[in-house]
Structure 1
C-alpha cells in the first residue's frame, strides 16, 4: 500500500533534525458557513446589518510529541454576519463561520476566525471602526445555542469610544458561531436568545 503524501511528509520531517515546519498546501481551503446564527425579534434588539463577508487568513496548527511540527493552511471563508442594536445603543454581533478541516491526519478542525486579528473580528461583529482591543479575559460562562461556553471580556475603542466587549464562541454542527456584545457595563448580552436560521 502506497503511503499518503502527508504521511510521507510527516515521516520525512521526523527523520530530519532541525526541520519542524510542514509544507503549506498549494491551494487555500475555500469554505462557506451553512446557516447563520440569528437573534429573534422578541429579544428587543433591532437588526441593522445582514450580509456575508469573505475572510482570508492563515490557520496554524502546532503538533507536539517526539518531534515538534507546525502546519500552516491558507483559508478563504465566507462568514454570515448579523449585527443588532438595543434601544440603549448596545451592539450585538453574530458571526457564523465554517468549521474548517485544516489537517487530515490526525483530523484537526478549526474556526478560521480564531486566526483573525481581534480588531477585525470585533469590527465585523459590530460594523464599526475598532482598534486597541485589550487582551481577552475569562469572566464566567455563557450559554450560546444551548451550549455552555466560556464568557470572555475585553475593552476596545469602537467608533472612537471605549466600550466593554463580551464574547462567546461555540461549534454548531459544521459551523462555528461567535457572538460579541458591546455594553457600558459588559452585562446583559443576549447569548441565550440566539437561534439558527433554517
Structure 2
C-alpha cells in the first residue's frame, strides 16, 4: 500500500454574516480509515479480483443555510477498502468502503469523502478499469444494500473504451459509508442484496 502523500494546501472555512468570517480556518487535513470492508460472499457467483486499500485525497465541502450561511471546506485523506468482483460472464461488481468523516464540530454533520471525488475516478476504483467518462447519474428504482433500502442510481460509462450501463447504490454502515457499483445490463440483477460486512 502506498503511503499517503502530504501536500501543501489552504483550507478556508468561511461564513457570510455581515461580511464576517465565522468558522476558523483548519490547518491540518482529516485523516481517517474505514473500519471494515464490505464484501460479497463466495455463494454470489462472483469471484474476487481485487482486494486492496486505497488512499483517497479530496476536499469535502459542506454548506449550511438559515439565519447564517456557512461554507466549510475540509481536506480529507481517507483510507478506503476496495473490493472488485467479476462473474463468469465478465460482469464487474465493486465495493468501496470509506470512513464517514465529521467535517465540522457537530456530530450530525458527517460526510462520505467519495461523494467529493469525480464520478469517473470512483467508477474506475469500483471497476478496477480505465473510465473515461460517466454520464449524469439518474434515479432508477431502489435496491437494498447491507439491509438498508435506498435509491438505485444509473448512468452510462465509458469503461476500457466501451460504453456500459452501470448502477450505483450508497449507504451508511456504522462509522463507514459503502458504495456499490455494478455493470448492469437489462438481463442482469446486480447482487447488491448479497453484500455483507463484518464490523
For residues 20-99 of structure 1, what are the structure 2 equivalents within 5 Å? 22-99=23-100
Alpha carbons of structure 1 residues 153 and 141: separation in structure 2 relative to 1, 3 Å: same
**CA drift at 1:185:** 2.8
**Count of matched residue positions in the alignment of Structure 1 and Structure 2:** 187
**Pairwise CA RMSD of aligned residues?**
1.9
Secondary structure of the residue aligned to 2:35 is coil
Tell which structure's C-alpha radius of gyration is larger. Answer: 1
Q: Is the 8 A contact 2:15 2:69 kept in 1?
A: no
Q: 1:20 to 1:161 in 2, by over 3 A?
A: farther
CA distances 1:51-106 after superposition (whole Å, capped 9, x unpaired): 01000000000010122110000000000000000111110000000001111136
2 CA distance for matches of 1:83 and 1:31? 22
The structure in which a higher percent of residues are helix is 1
TM normalised by structure 2 equals: 0.88
Q: What is the 5 A alignment of 1:1-198?
A: 13=15, 16-19=17-20, 22-105=23-106, 107-185=108-186, 187-197=188-198
Q: For the structure 1 residues 123 and 13, does the alpha-carbon distance in structure 2 shift closer, same or farther, using more than 3 Å as the test?
A: closer
**Equivalent-residue separation in structure 1 for 2:150 and 2:22 (angstroms):** 32
CA distance in 1, matches of 2:177, 2:142: 17
Question: What is the rounded CA distance, in whole Å, between the counterparts of 1:186 and 1:81 in structure 2?
Answer: 26
**Shift of residue 24, structure 1, vs aligned partner:** 3.7
Moved more, 64-73 or 29-38: 64-73
Q: Secondary structure at the match of 1:35?
A: coil
CA deviations 1:129-154 (Å, max 9, x no partner) are 00210000001100000000110000
CA shift, 1:184, in A, is 3.0
Question: Any gaps of 5 or more consecutive residues in structure 2?
Answer: 1-12
